Chain A
Amino acid sequence: MKTMQSLIRLLALLSLGGAPLAHASAEISGPAKVGRSAWLLHFDSDWKNASGLPEKAMLIGLQGLANRTAPRLYITHADDFPWEITGPIAEFYQRKHGVQFTALKTADEALTQFAQYAKGYVVWDPAVMPTMNVAYTIAGLEDAVIVTPALIPLVAKHGLKPIDDLRGRYAGMTDVQIYAEAKGRYWARCSHDKLMLMGGHAGDMRIPGVADWGVRERMFFHDLSANPAQPDEVELEKQFFSEMNPGGFVFGWHSYAKDTEEQHTTLTSTFGLRMEGLQSLPNLSFNCQFSFTPGFRFANQHHVDRATKLVAEKKVYLAFVQSDGIGLGVWTKPGRGRLSLAWSAIPSWLEFSPAALEYFHESATAADYFIGGLSGPSYMYPNHIPAERFDGLMREAVRQMERLDERVFEILDNSAADGNVGNADLTKATVDRYYAAFPNVIGFINGYGPARTRDLRDTRPMISYDYYVDPKRPRDEVTADLNELIALNQKRPYFCMVHVRESNDVNSLVEVIKNLRGPVEVVPVDTFMKLAASNQTYMTRYQDPDDPKHFEGYTR
């Protein structure tokens, strides 16, 4: 019901823009022009392999083809979709870029409109799921849509001819055998700047939301494992990574069934590659074709000047940060604006999704403050970035921060952690590199779960999270946890950095703060850094070689 209401609201909003312009008006290149037509599909929540996936997989691939030369097709999603911003950003396109959307109601309507951008179809086998990824690879190279056998009549009706049929070709083969065979066939023609890790959910569902981008950019699709328990898959993935161009991107996400986020990000970082999540991220093929609106400049809401010197009082200073992918969760939930909160925007969206960044800045409240990260120009684990790649990557991160008007940089290395617990610390060598690479920041934040890397050099503190707010933890226990930290850290000032997991409810955190004991003050992150620079009551510490490590990493 809620989903239907959202759709009705969205379509009503979009209909205000009037009738679509002639289709030819969208035939432009370069930054999008004001006043254009585009089409809009709305997806429900059914991503099951046996029901909703095949049609959605076909349409997302078709979106990549339709958006090759102009932004023509945009997809909005149900309220429970991981990225909750597809509706608000569609509204932003209409309002700020003059995009006039026409709703498409069915796959048949979408094919009627966009089959002209496909040269044919590739058949994948739902009984051999990696064939969906191979089909997507072929789709990008051959301008094909991907279909299951059941969908052949639909695409044939629109005049599409068979280009390839994967049924039987990979029967009985392991994943590594399938991808090795496909590598031999297709990899040479694929992009070596961008690779698609189409993992995520396994079992009876998939959400290949970012496949449009992979098709548009002619990427190789796979879901190889970075789990050392599957050494053949790791070795094949290393081959791909070693053959990519320096500074290349890995889009998508790891397979939840094969390995962990920590393992995969460690592996990409070991090769100096930039990880860009998630596998569900929608509409990049559309978003990448818009620039910022004329006259727009990022103006972060700084609370202190770079040169300001503050003196901390004998208080407990708390600062809150939300560092998961912006657009996942909290941003669109009630309560934002009631608590001073720092947000880690996704800096590579300067390149791939500028309108989304502009939307976030435009809709920021006075309590929202943007910070740089995560760890580099994309999501990376710095303890594992090759030394010869580090400075080049960080120069790009510095450039991003300057454009985004950000002054605090956030770092995360979870390579030795076990999810959001365990060892998330930086070696001293890594800390040294950051201080050298970011001379103009006013401070660094480290961690995801709690960590204990801390430093203060000149006026730039490096502070790790002292607490991670698990969204499932009862609020009275969160209150007790924070009060216990305040009791154990007896010196004043005490600087307590708190990480707010994406799906937390801000309103509940406001109530937690009301029940904290002692001389507590919540401050914005930039103010926090200036205060922390004035009185180092925290211990300087780096990753200790004796600290337990859940995972040691890889050799290249």
Chain B
Amino acid sequence: MFGRFFAKRVDSKRAQGVNCPVPMKTTALKRMILGGLFALGLTAALAANPALAGRWRLDTARSSTLDGWHSMDLVVALNGSQVGLTHHMQWRTTKFAATNSYDTARAVDLKNYFRVEQRHMAVYPAKGGITHATAAWLDGGRTLRLEVETPVEVSQGNVTMRIYSEYRLGELGDTLTLIELHSSRERPLVYVFNKVTGEEKK
């Protein structure tokens, strides 16, 4: 089922207005009408659903099993085209936080990209590696799509791992499902988060 995501990258470029051909014969009036409609559509496509913002807590019972972490909170911060994803991880008594900052208007290069690793595998962030990432809103702003190419160190040296992720907001706005696919892994990793209320943050 995930092959279709890779096959339809052109749609995301279209949504961002990048090299997007208009597949019909146009007149000046049509251009104006189409331009107006396109602008409306573009605005809708670029806008994130505000319900995505906030703190989300991993529902371990409904998620792929973490490896080398016991718990995870995800904090989504939205600011225009910028999206910040902060991971609050815990392993035993060790707490760790890391933020990846994306931009739906442009590709970004990240120096310290954080990946929810399977920590019992000898796969490490490559020293000095730069991670290339693109982000886009889909489904009327309810889904954040990330496409990442990150260098990792394995026993044979450095290689690139492609990671395709979708963060899908549930219909009621109280769940967030992350589906993560690695170029190197046959099984997707599925993480289900529940919205954290003010009380639960404590």
Docked complex Cα distance between A466 and B119 (Å): 11
Given contacts A419-B91, A484-B184, A488-B161, contact A468 B120 (CB under 8 A): yes
* Contacts between chains A and B (CB distance < 8 A), count: 97
Residues in A with CB closer than 8 Å to B92 are 418-419
Is B120 within 8 A of A421, CB to CB? yes
**B contact patch SS:** loop
A448-493 residues with Cβ-Cβ distance < 8 A to B are 449-452, 454, 464-470, 473-474, 476-477, 480-481, 483-485, 487-491
Q: Mark B123-139, 1 if CB is under 8 A from A, else 0.
A: 11001000000000000
Is B120 within 8 A of A494, CB to CB? no
Is B65 within 8 A of A477, CB to CB? yes
Tell me which of B94, B122, B127, B186 contacts A450 (CB under 8 A).
B122
Is B156 within 8 A of A538, CB to CB? yes
Residues in A with CB closer than 8 Å to B156 are 489-491, 494, 537-539
Docked complex Cα distance between A538 and B152 (Å): 14
Is A421 within 8 A of B119, CB to CB? yes
Closest to A482 in B: B121
Docked complex Cα distance between A462 and B56 (Å): 43
Given contacts A450-B121, A451-B122, A538-B156, contact A487 B187 (CB under 8 A): no
- Does A27 count as interface, using CB distance less than 8 angstroms? no
A265 → B minimal CB distance (Å):
16
B90 → A minimal CB distance (Å):
11
Docked complex Cα distance between A469 and B67 (Å): 10
- Does B170 count as interface, using CB distance less than 8 angstroms? no
Q: How many residues of B contact A (CB 8 A)?
A: 28
Is B155 within 8 A of A538, CB to CB? yes
Residues in A with CB closer than 8 Å to B182 are 484
Q: How many residues of A contact B (CB 8 A)?
A: 41
Is B186 within 8 A of A488, CB to CB? no
- Does B159 count as interface, using CB distance less than 8 angstroms? yes
- Does B31 count as interface, using CB distance less than 8 angstroms? no
Is A466 within 8 A of B155, CB to CB? yes
Q: Mark A334-368, 1 if CB is under 8 A from B, else 0.
A: 00000000000000000000000000000000000
Residues in B with CB closer than 8 Å to A25 are none
Residues in A with CB closer than 8 Å to B161 are 488
- Does A119 count as interface, using CB distance less than 8 angstroms? no
Is A476 within 8 A of B154, CB to CB? no
- Does A546 count as interface, using CB distance less than 8 angstroms? yes
Residues in A with CB closer than 8 Å to B124 are 452
Docked complex Cα distance between A483 and B155 (Å): 15
Tell me which of B122, B184, B185 contacts A466 (CB under 8 A).
B122
Please list the residues of chain B having a beta carbon within 8 angstroms of any beta carbon in chain A: 64-65, 67-68, 91-92, 94, 118-124, 127, 152-157, 159, 161, 182, 184-187
Please list the residues of chain A having a beta carbon within 8 angstroms of any beta carbon in chain B: 418-422, 449-452, 454, 464-470, 473-474, 476-477, 480-481, 483-485, 487-491, 494-496, 517, 537-539, 544, 546, 550
Counting from the closest, the 8 A-B pairs by CB-CB distance are A450-B122, A487-B184, A468-B120, A466-B122, A421-B119, A480-B187, A421-B68, A484-B185
30 cross-chain CB contacts under 8 A: A419-B91, A420-B68, A421-B68, A422-B119, A450-B120, A450-B122, A452-B155, A464-B122, A464-B155, A465-B122, A466-B122, A467-B120, A474-B65, A477-B64, A477-B118, A477-B187, A480-B186, A480-B187, A484-B118, A487-B184, A488-B152, A488-B159, A489-B154, A489-B156, A490-B156, A491-B156, A495-B155, A537-B156, A539-B155, A550-B94
**Additional 9 contacts, C-beta under 8 A, given A420-B68, A450-B122, A477-B65:** A418-B91, A452-B124, A467-B121, A484-B121, A485-B122, A487-B185, A494-B155, A538-B155, A539-B155
